[in-house]
Chains A and B, each alone.
Chain A
Amino acid sequence: MTIYGVALLAISFLLGQWMGSLLGDWLGIQANVGGVGFAMIFLMLGKEWLVQKKQMTSEMTGGIAFWSKMYIPVVIAMAASLNVKSAVSSGSLALVAGIIPVLASFLAFPWIMKKFNPKHHG
């Protein structure tokens, strides 16, 4: 059943977001800390468990795969509903402080990879 896959995704999502907001509360900040990351880990563990029990049918996988393929369309919709106008027209500091650190990170990124990637340390 396709809906079982969607339901597995839904419960992973809700548990992960809940954990993220609990962690945020515990740290005393009004933000969700890692909710999406926890949800992804729950989904992977749940899928693994069902695969081992031989309960993960291809229909269930399809129910999750559909939503993962909707990901880019959702990003397009998100881009179209960002406040692009005020971002572009908020003055020079908004543009400079939004762009310069991104470029600096691109420059620093290969260095971080070289320095800290576990592959280079064996």
Chain B
Amino acid sequence: MDNLIGLIEKNGLIFGFLCVGIIFLIGELLSKTIFRSKIPGSAIAIFLGLLLGYLGGLWSDGEKGIAGISLFAGIGLLGGSMFRDFTIVATALGANLELIRKAGWLGLISLLVGIVLFFIIGVLLAFAWGFRDAASLCTIGAGACTYIVGPITGAAVGASSEVIALSIAIGVVKTIAVTIFTPIAAKRIGLKSPESAMAFGGMMGTSSGVAAGLAATDPSLVPYGAVTATFYTGVGCLLCPSLFYLILNFVF
């Protein structure tokens, strides 16, 4: 047995492939039996992933979900930013460059609307929760954008480490919320064409959430959502600690 565990720890990524394959299989089976194929297997598998992330975090008392348990460290490598971005780029194989060019300005508008909307609501909620200083408000508003914009903004405007940690947590909740709600809401909000996926990616921004949510909705939309979502964090990091912070500083 020790032999096997040693072998798995040495070949973590390979074991990760096996684990994800099993999770996917369970997701498909649940989809077919309990949900009568109304919810796609991939959506259930992603949800199971989140559940394992929660349980793994409880078990290992760490920050990396199930990857915090050394036996499952390979899942963290497989789910890390390198493979995530590499496979997202590969989805461009099925995308139409002409469509992306045509919907470019729609993407740009939704990007700006999305960042402003998330930031303002984040700031208002922080205000309602009793925060009154510009640095904390700005950091929490930035965290509502993504879990990367939050800490970068917090460091730039000199927010306390508690507020920065909170902004990361808000960003992770956002990613999870987008993952879960996208397939549920897709039909009702008219998310079905490449153009709408580009606008959606720009508005929601969280690359992981948009990618996971669209994957569970319609995998052919993933490249269009990803191509705009990838600009969100960068533009957020540009606007939050500068223009938005100046405005907040002026108000408070």
A31 and B72 alpha carbons, distance in the complex (Å): 29
Interface centre among A20, A64, A82, A94 (most CB of B within 10 A): A82
B76 pairs with A87, CB closer than 8 A: no
Instruction: Say how far B208's CB is from chain A's closest CB, in angstroms.
Output: 6
Q: What chain A residues lie within 8 Å of B46 (beta carbons)?
A: 72, 75-76, 79
Instruction: Give chain A's interface secondary structure class.
Output: helix
A81 pairs with B65, CB closer than 8 A: yes
B230 pairs with A35, CB closer than 8 A: yes
A13 and B82 alpha carbons, distance in the complex (Å): 10
Is B3 in contact with chain A by the CB < 8 A criterion? no
Instruction: Say how far B14's CB is from chain A's closest CB, in angstroms.
Output: 13
Instruction: Say how far A62's CB is from chain B's closest CB, in angstroms.
Output: 10
A81-B64 contact, Cβ under 8 Å, with A44-B92, A112-B110: yes
Quick one: closest B residue to A23, CB to CB?
B234
Interface centre among B19, B53, B92 (most CB of A within 10 A): B92
- Residues of chain A in range 74-122 having any CB-CB distance to chain B below 8 Å: 74-88, 90-106, 108-110, 112-113, 116-119
A72-B121 contact, Cβ under 8 Å, with A13-B89, A98-B177, A102-B178: no
Is A3 in contact with chain B by the CB < 8 A criterion? no
Q: Mark B114-126, 1 if CB is under 8 A from A, else 0.
A: 1001100110011
A112 and B87 alpha carbons, distance in the complex (Å): 29
Instruction: Say how far B57's CB is from chain A's closest CB, in angstroms.
Output: 3
Instruction: Give chain B's interface secondary structure class.
Output: helix
Is B113 in contact with chain A by the CB < 8 A criterion? yes
Q: What chain B residues lie within 8 Å of A117 (beta carbons)?
A: 106, 195-196, 199
Instruction: Say how far A66's CB is from chain B's closest CB, in angstroms.
Output: 8
Quick one: closest A residue to B41, CB to CB?
A72
B228 pairs with A82, CB closer than 8 A: no
Instruction: Say how far A1's CB is from chain B's closest CB, in angstroms.
Output: 17
A53 and B42 alpha carbons, distance in the complex (Å): 37
Instruction: Say how far A55's CB is from chain B's closest CB, in angstroms.
Output: 16
A73 pairs with B122, CB closer than 8 A: no
Quick one: closest B residue to A92, CB to CB?
B129
B215 pairs with A93, CB closer than 8 A: no
Contact of B57 among A33, A45, A83, A98 (CB under 8 A): A83
Among B30-38, B95-103, B243-251, the stretch in contact with A: B95-103
Q: Mark A13-56, 1 if CB is under 8 A from B, else 0.
A: 10011001001100101111111110111011101100000000
Contact of A36 among B57, B76, B89, B113 (CB under 8 A): B89
